[in-house]
Structure 1
Amino acid sequence: MSSTRRTATTAGVFFLVAAAASIPALGLFQPVLGDAEYVLGAGSDGRVLLGALLEIVTVVAVVGTGVALYPVVRRENHTAALGYALGRLMEGALIALGLVAVLAVVSLRQDAGGSDDGALVVVQEALVAVKDWTFLLGPNVALGVNTLLLAGLMYRSGLVSRWIAVLGLVGGPLILASGIAVLLGAYEQVSVVGTLAALPVFAWEMSLAVHLVVRGFRPTAALGAPPVRPAAPVG
């Protein structure tokens, strides 16, 4: 297996792992995110900590896609490729910040003996608000920009099938616009509209991941072959 083929497979696996870990992690966090008085009850710390483990895997996978793809996509546009790699790093950092906020709620509940109940609830609400904001700015706003960068690189370079790149060029701006709409209070992020806005970018990532794992990069594009030009007329 060539190094370019290994790069494609690695990047595809990272995309798949990120999706497989992030979706159940959000569900496992619900005892903290959905119960305003989690810090006062018996808690479901084991469930939340399992979600935290999956979220760590998500962060590694998100950053891994940027690192894995950078050596290949920089051949098309170094600035855009660097922007994508750094953007994925920022996206991972935002996810990690939200994870720390959730873990802080767990610690608060475990060490809450003798504390004022009202103060505990207020602190939990603040930490959950941090998690909500990072969830918006990471898997919505930052994801939209990163998708647009990578899809543009894939479209111009021809590294994958053109329809996959077009799907990203549609999904990226859509999830970004949805994130801005949520920021302005148009609707909730976890809602029917928010979910529908996220479907194209999810389809983009899964299509790209499967293509990279099964087929890899298109050979001539991956090798950086120059376009074929007609021969100059003789005489």
Structure 2
Amino acid sequence: MQTSNTPDHTRPPTFQPPRAPFRGVATTAGVMYLITIVASIPAQFVSYAPVLNNADYVLGAGADTRVMWGGLLEVITALACIGTAVVLFPVVRRQHEGAALGFVTARVFEASLIITGVVAMLSVVTLRQPSASGADAAARLVTSEALVAAHDWTFILGPGVMPGINAVLLGYVMYRSGLVPRAIPAIGLLGAPLFLVAGAATVVGVNEPGSVWTALATLPIFAWEASLGVWLTARGFKADAVRRLCAGDQASV
């Protein structure tokens, strides 16, 4: 007679499906991509609005807390921006190490421009002094205008140009490797030239940052990054593509 303390060897072992290769990497990268989207939009178009839309902000009542929250969201965006590249690097370098390294460098450069813009916006908050008058008030206005101009250029050269370069580098690797459905990187690869042309036109003064052309050029890049983030978070890398990359590493040893 079997007691309750005797193990039941007749019971079949519980089956545990194998974990998909690099599943944690894919999920982390996907979440970070979504964070860059969720955090950046309110920062630029909501939180910074009091400073960007009011030339006399430094002499008025201000909305410092709102602007500082925007700065925090931008810092989160910059860190997540770097995180997407650092997390993906060990995987995508197996397909093309040069493109993977270029992607990391481009993301770090983009993040540095974002942080520069944050410093400019928070500096305006520091300068705000409603009681200033005369030469002091004039100096604060001039300095504030310069800081806002610096922020505007960091936005043009950062989020206004670098996502197109990122789409070319990472999109190429993702398309060639098949780590995600090829329709996803194809959106980025097709949209990148239009985005870069619009960005270059803005830099030389032919196009405006908020123009219809800019909005249309941004849509494919937004769709590429959003779809990549959702796919990596929900599904991860395609297992057969990961196996091919790993097999290629072993064959090259």
Same fold? TM cut 0.5: yes
Cα deviation for residue 155 of structure 1 reads: 0.8
Report Cα offsets for 1:98-137 as digits up to 9, x if no partner. Answer: 0000000000115974662222111111100110000011
2:149 alignment partner in structure 1 = 129
2: CA distance, partners of 1:45 / 1:133 = 22
The residue type paired with residue 78 of structure 2 is V
CA distance 1:147–1:48, change in 2 (3 Å): same
Higher mean Cα deviation, 130-139 or 166-175?
166-175
Gaps of 5+ in 2: 1-18, 249-253
For these two proteins, the number of residue pairs brought into alignment is 227
TM-score, normalisation: structure 2: 0.86
1:10 alignment partner in structure 2 = 28
Judge conservation of contact 2:168–2:192 (CA < 8 Å) in 1. yes
2: CA distance, partners of 1:3 / 1:122 = 55
CA distance 1:80–1:111, change in 2 (3 Å): farther
CA distance 1:112–1:100, change in 2 (3 Å): farther
State whether structure 2 residue 221 is matched by structure 1 residue 201: yes
Q: What is the percent sequence identity of the aligned residues?
A: 51
**SS at 2:147's partner residue?**
helix
Judge conservation of contact 1:39–1:112 (CA < 8 Å) in 2. no
Judge conservation of contact 1:14–1:65 (CA < 8 Å) in 2. yes
The counterpart of 2:127, out of the listed 100, 105, 108, is: 108
2:37 alignment partner in structure 1 = 19
2: CA distance, partners of 1:18 / 1:202 = 11
The residue type paired with residue 182 of structure 1 is T
Could you list the structure 1 runs, at least 4 aligned residues long, displaced by more than 3 angstroms after superposition. Answer: 110-115
Judge conservation of contact 1:5–1:217 (CA < 8 Å) in 2. yes
**SS at 2:55's partner residue?**
coil
2:50 alignment partner in structure 1 = 31
1:143 alignment partner in structure 2 = 163
Gaps of 5+ in 1: 228-235
Report Cα offsets for 1:28-77 as digits up to 9, x if no partner. Answer: 10111111110010101011011111111101111110111100000001
1: CA distance, partners of 2:86 / 2:194 = 25
Cα deviation for residue 86 of structure 1 reads: 1.1
After TM superposition, list the pairs within 5 Å mapping 1:143-182 onto structure 2. 143-182=163-202
Higher helix proportion (structure 1 or 2):
1
1:44 alignment partner in structure 2 = 63
State whether structure 2 residue 71 is matched by structure 1 residue 71: no
CA distance 1:128–1:112, change in 2 (3 Å): farther
1: CA distance, partners of 2:190 / 2:138 = 46
CA distance 1:68–1:111, change in 2 (3 Å): farther
TM-score, normalisation: structure 1: 0.92
After TM superposition, list the pairs within 5 Å mapping 1:67-106 onto structure 2. 67-106=86-125
Please, what is the CA RMSD of the aligned residues?
1.6
